[in-house]
Structure 1
Amino acid sequence: MRIDMWLDTCDPWSYLGLRHLRTAMSRCEHSTEMEVYLHAYLLDPDLEAALDKPRIVALVESGAANLEEVNEADERMRALGAREGIRFDFDSLIIAPTSRAHRVIAAAHDADIDNDTVAGPDSLHLKVAEAIMRSHFEMGLDISHPEVLIGCAQDIGMPPDLAALAVGDEEWASRVYSDYQMAMHMGVASVPTYVMDSQFLVDGHQTVTAFSNILATAWDNARKDHA
């Protein structure tokens, strides 16, 4: 069964969503027959370099939210993350473009194909995406910086030379742009968004229990279609 997920590495809901999806898959008896394909969705496609101002200042100045709204949203996310062992550090967070991060994630999928490790919750593809988001949200690192991305790749066992190649190669840049254009064409308006077996669209925050039910339903329907 194929699972497509659109996400952005600067989106906390995507971080939680990926964590919940992987957990639900690890509890599913059919996980070794499920393949997840991550796709880039750029929440700020025009951002070209990391901002040199605190995140909360940038958000308020942009008009995206006022100070009270930002603080309330951050507290809610910290509480949700704490239940999953995620320590969101919004005060140290660096706003940076995410295209390079998505290139490395795409390259990790290529490595999975070469290693025959595409299926299941522990593919390089999924682990490097989670490592990059951990660096962003919990460690306050600039995930547009090549050294940070290469370090994330090394940490989860992805060849660092492949990550270095992906950061600067236009092939992967084109794939990131294609993913984003596909999302626009499909009408994807928010992340995370999931498509189960090319049939069922699921968007927004899902608990592990909800994901477990969604995976079971999608699996049963996939088996009926192939019967």
Structure 2
Amino acid sequence: MKIDIWSDIACPWCYIGLTRFDRALAAFEHRDGVEVTLHSFQLDPTLPDAYDGTETQYLAQRKGLPEASVKEMFGHVSAAAASEGLTMDFDTLQVANSRKAHRLLHAAQQADPTGRLAHDLKLGLFRAHFTDGESVSDADVLVRLATEAGLDAGAARTALDDEGFEARVAADVDAARKLGISGVPFFVLHEKYGISGAQPLEVFTQALAQVWDEVHPEPAFKTLTIPGLRQDATGPACGPDGCA
């Protein structure tokens, strides 16, 4: 079963949503048969590499909200994150363009087609951005995070300005637009079912089971009701070891 996930590193609900999804998948009995692919999305592609201001100031200006309202929203998000064991520090968060980080994620996907490396790097980027107050547009930070996840340092640095990986980021963004995705995180199960947002763990758990059963249906044998036919017995038949 294939699952595609669109998200942005600068999105706190994407961090929470991926964490909840990971927990559901880890407990899913058929998890080894699930292929997960991470896709790029940018909430604000116009951001400079370094924004001269706080996250509170940035969102207040962008959304036209009082800073007090933005801080109240941060409190709600931080509480949701804490319930998943995540720490989000919006006071030290560095507002930055995530484009280079997305290129790096595509380099990780190319280096490890299983998606494990890209997944580990994505989590590292989330932690750096929301917990550690690091800039996800800083080349040295990005290369360090990539090598910690298992990507070659030279390949990581080259990927930051690689036009080929930039084209893959653009292709992901375009695919999201064609699917009508305007917010993230967004999960697509088996190229057929969409789940929008950081849903509760139970939603992901039930969705995995439901779609898996649809993709891998059990044989639909029906019981015949014929006089004289015993349902607990078999008639004469042949098998690999002979006939009886």
TM-score by structure 1 length? 0.91
- Give me the whole-angstrom Cα distance separating, in 2, the residues matched to 1:49 and 1:111: 26
Equivalent position of 1:4 in the other structure = 4
Q: Please, which of 185, 196, 208 is the counterpart of residue 203 of structure 1?
A: 196
Q: Please, which of 197, 214, 218 is the counterpart of residue 211 of structure 2?
A: 218
How far has the Cα of 1:49 moved from its partner?
A: 2.0
How far has the Cα of 1:176 moved from its partner?
A: 0.3
Equivalent position of 1:73 in the other structure = 73
Equivalent position of 2:179 in the other structure = 186
- Give me the whole-angstrom Cα distance separating, in 2, the residues matched to 1:106 and 1:222: 28
- Corresponding letter in the other structure for 1:198: E
- Pair 1:182–1:64, CA change in 2 (3 A): farther
How far has the Cα of 1:129 moved from its partner?
A: 0.6
Equivalent position of 1:52 in the other structure = 52
How far has the Cα of 1:158 moved from its partner?
A: 2.4
Q: Give the length in aligned residue pairs.
A: 220
Question: What pairs with 1:10-49 in structure 2 (closer than 5 Å)?
Answer: 10-49=10-49
Higher RCO (CA < 8 A, seq sep 6+): 1
Mapped contact 2:7–2:39 kept (Cα < 8 A): yes
- Give me the whole-angstrom Cα distance separating, in 2, the residues matched to 1:196 and 1:54: 36
- Give me the whole-angstrom Cα distance separating, in 2, the residues matched to 1:108 and 1:73: 33
- Corresponding letter in the other structure for 1:94: Q
Structure having the higher helix fraction is 1
Gaps of 5+ in 2: 221-244
- Corresponding letter in the other structure for 1:25: L
Residues 1:174 and 2:167 aligned together: yes
- Give me the whole-angstrom Cα distance separating, in 2, the residues matched to 1:4 and 1:111: 18
CA deviations over 1:103-152 (Å, ceiling 9, x no partner): 11111111222xxx34xxxx112111111011000011100111111111
- Give me the whole-angstrom Cα distance separating, in 2, the residues matched to 1:39 and 1:139: 24
What is the RMSD of the two structures over their aligned residues, measured on CA atoms?
A: 1.8
- Corresponding letter in the other structure for 1:138: T
CA deviations over 1:6-54 (Å, ceiling 9, x no partner): 1010000001111111111111121111111111111111223210212
- Give me the whole-angstrom Cα distance separating, in 1, the residues matched to 2:141 and 2:168: 21
Mapped contact 2:20–2:198 kept (Cα < 8 A): no
Higher deviation after alignment, 152-161 or 66-75: 152-161
SS of the residue corresponding to residue 57 of structure 2 reads: helix
How far has the Cα of 1:162 moved from its partner?
A: 2.3
- Give me the whole-angstrom Cα distance separating, in 1, the residues matched to 2:101 and 2:48: 13
CA deviations over 1:169-225 (Å, ceiling 9, x no partner): 110011101111111121111101111001111101212222111111111111139
Q: Please, which of 129, 151, 154 is the counterpart of residue 158 of structure 1?
A: 151
SS of the residue corresponding to residue 39 of structure 2 reads: strand
Equivalent position of 1:111 in the other structure = 111
